Amino acid sequence: MELLMTTVLNSKITSPDDKKFIEEINSLIENEGDGVCQAVIKMLTDLNMPPDEARKIWFDIVDHREALYSFLGRDVDLLTVIADYLSLSGHFFKNPKIVEFEVLEKALSDSRHDNLTGLLNRGCLWEILNGHLAQAKRHNTELAVLFIDVDDFKFFNDTFGHQAGDNALASIANVIREESRTDDVAIRYGGEELVVVMPNTSEKNALVLAERIREKVEGLSIKVDGITRSLTMSGGIASFPADAHDGYALLSMADKALYRAKAMGKNNIALFAEKKQRSCSRSRLVRAIKIKEIGFDPGALIHGASKNISMGGMLFETGNQLDVGANIEVSIPIMNTEPLFLIGSVVRVGATKKGRYDVGMVISFKKLEKAAKEEISSFLMRRKPKGKGNSTERASMDSTNIVEM
């Protein structure tokens, strides 16, 4: 209920007047059900009641407000309406308790937020995660969870002291808050572990956000006794509906992806889905390769070296930092035959000790098929005959030329 109470409270704070607030609550009731009424009544009066009873009370209050308006010829403050209604509603409401929004806002904030980082605390996690998951199921949308752990934090804490560790965690929390979007919810899970719940977010977009956070954390300058120190973080991502359909499983899978990111050398972001892809046979493949952004206009080539390959993706190294989410084409020489061309998306970029980058690429066979069709179409358009002539003969000639290529 706390998630709904927070939503109701935010509606009250942002609404210019009681009329707009009532309209927003009624809209919420239509979308989310009678639990909204239960949250409103609990928030305003501290009364606990079943959702169906709360629905009746809420709409009775709305009707009572309209009746007072008709009788007095002016608007009456909602809290006054509620107090009057409860006083007239029989022995159950002899001593109504009206809760001031400012007092409630502070109480909710204090109980829900972590004092050190300012992020929501672990006690809010399951209600928030399950609430957003229920909405994703209801509206057929995606949801992603990012599980973060600060790399080597115990060593940092033990070496430089708890105050330095606290300052570092607060700085990292600020990065997460600044880089997160409006609908994202950041939570301190415990110690140096943090969770970001991302509604309406695909796995690919979650990875883009996670990489942005990782890079900003890596670039933090943390002052300890006048000396600049640095920290890194690792993260794991799991998504609904691709990986799991309940909150516990989703968080567990994000946690597993996190520990795989640690195993890959830390300062990494890993996808749980990538683990499923890795169940395919992965073979070592060391070749000089060429990479470019997808497109058929001439573009700058990037040189690199492949490391391994599977049916689902490839890992390669390059001196250029590619963007996560970029669509790329890779040319791989295979013995004495024509090069193998792969098309896909960058899902992971990690800096190596040599100042180069390891790039994880997921192969997209749909993009391969589309690119092939576009390539053929582009070729045919370039070879389209000008002027009059035997179209059948020219088409045959073009077909022959395609084979010869």
* Residue reference for tokens 């390959």: 309
The amino acid at residue 25 is I
First to last CA, the chain: 66
Q: How distant, in Å, are the alpha carbons of 1, 24, 52, 104 from that of 43? A: 10, 16, 16, 8
Checking DSSP bridges between strand 269-271 and strand 227-229, what pairing results, if any? unpaired
Buried b (16+ CB within 10 A) or exposed e, 243-282: bbeebeebbbbbbbbbebbbebeebbbbbbbbbebeeeeb
Instruction: Please pick, among 23, 32, 102, 192, the residue that the annotation labels catalytic.
Output: 192
C-alpha gyration radius of the chain: 29
Alpha carbon distance 364, 371 (integer Å)? 10
| Cβ contact 237:145 at 8 Å | yes
| Cβ contact 236:256 at 8 Å | yes
Q: 310: closest CA among 355, 276, 259?
A: 276
Is residue 192 annotated as a catalytic residue, yes or no?
yes
Listed in sequence order, the DSSP H helices in 197-347 are: 203-218, 247-263, 272-277
DSSP class of residue 33 equals -
Cβ contacts of residue 47 below 8 Å, gap of 6+? 41, 97
Alpha carbon distance 49, 71 (integer Å)? 30
Alpha carbon distance 254, 269 (integer Å)? 10
Alpha carbon distance 74, 233 (integer Å)? 58
Known catalytic residues are 192
